[in-house]
Amino acid sequence: MVAGLDEKLEPIYQEVLHRNPGETEFHQAVREVLETLGPVLVKYPELADRKIIQLCCEPERQIIFRVPWQDDKGQTHINRAFRVEFNSALGPYKGGMRFHPSVYLGIIKFLGFEQIFKNALTGMPIGGGKGGSDFDPKGRSDAEIMRFCQSMMTELYRHLGEYTDVPAGDIGVGQREIGYLFGQYKRITNRYESGVFTGKGLDWGGSRARKEATGFGTVFFTNEMLKVRSDSLDGKTCVVSGSGNVAIYAMEKAMELGAKVVACSDSNGVIVDKEGIDLDLVKQIKEVERRRINAYVQEKKSARYLEDGNIWEVPCHVALPCATQNELNGHDAKALVKNGCIVVAEGANMPCTPEAVRIFSDAGIAFGPGKAANAGGVATSALEMQQNASRDSWTFEHTEERLREIMVDIHRNCYETADEFGAPGNYVTGANITGFLKVGRAMMAMGVV
């Protein structure tokens, strides 16, 4: 038997391994949830009788297709694309699209599986799904990206709809890509169906605060974790991995709440600025000029650049991994503990390895798992859908306040559930059980479907 799993759950995990060979990220995500569900089956044995866990582990639908497109020189390329519509018990499938060379079915399934419970935690009526392609937008012209997106949507459109499946952005997919995808959807379907995509531009159905939502939400959750410890972000030193959308706005909100952010990164290296990161400069480099983060040190003499450096070795009180999965391992976790870190919150999806999470738990560090801590993005996507449905547009302040309320609710529910099931302060347990019970009860109500 694999250590850490209830004996009733071991056969379920083995079945997942057997049915999904080679999909290591998906295996990791499933195991992380199963490890916390033993007490749930004791309290609610009907969930086991109806095989709700097995149903949650098997997507309702998996779509794989080729995407042929031509570059600016007329050369043909063929990429592979995916949409995994995982669970619609609470609402239409909802989850982002990722464009990155590492994308394969196992990553999309891991992300979609996480999305089921993350979306449930928001309290919004949205199911779980995810999609993407192994297409790499880096170094491609706008015209090439447009042609790829149009080719992809020519197949994908038939599976989407505001009551069916609602994609959004993720790594490699921002407002530019969403625009091209939505434009082709509109052209093919002859419908201006705003609610079929989220992350849209403000001029064409987007929501204020959506761009900021994941990063802001992660920091709201972090501050709530500190509050129950009679503490706050004010005066804390913070490091944030990544320098994309989530990382930038996590840094912004952390600074607003009084933290000093001293480091961020990209896939090539780390910048450390002892005077505090100049966020306007980071935005100019990454959002406007689309350059590598090492350009920062050309403008700031107080900063140093660590090529292939390790951001987790920079001393801090607060660590926010906001880049990609499994970026923070056991060695990194030990370095954070040694250097006095007191709270870690995942802005990315599953950025901490299981070993890292165990080390944080053993050291008494407050740890916010991604399905709770980074749920602000999809929560605000649901708010965007709400505005689209009512043909309305809210102010930034109203939307941000709704986001804050949702993140406070998620924190409270996770905290109280963890306490109820004998794991006080364990947000992994609290998030998994809260999300699973909400989805499981809905599935029970709808019968064997």
Residues labelled as active-site residues: 130
Nearest to 385 by CA among 259, 199, 227: 199
245 is in an annotated binding site: yes
Nearest to 170 by CA among 76, 244, 221: 244
94 is in an annotated binding site: yes
381 is in an annotated binding site: yes
Distance CA 19, CA 12 (A): 11
Residue 358 identity: R
169 is in an annotated binding site: yes
Map tokens 């909802």 to a residue. 94
244 is in an annotated binding site: no
Cβ partners under 8 Å of residue 386, min gap 6: none
CB 422 within 8 A of CB 235: no
The residues that bridge with 85 in the sheet, in sequence order, are 61, 129
118 is in an annotated binding site: yes
75 is in an annotated binding site: no
Nearest to 182 by CA among 202, 169, 196, 170: 196
| Binding-site sequence positions for substrate | 94, 115, 118, 169, 381
| Binding-site sequence positions for NAD(+) | 214, 245
| Binding-site sequence positions | 94, 115, 118, 169, 214, 245, 381
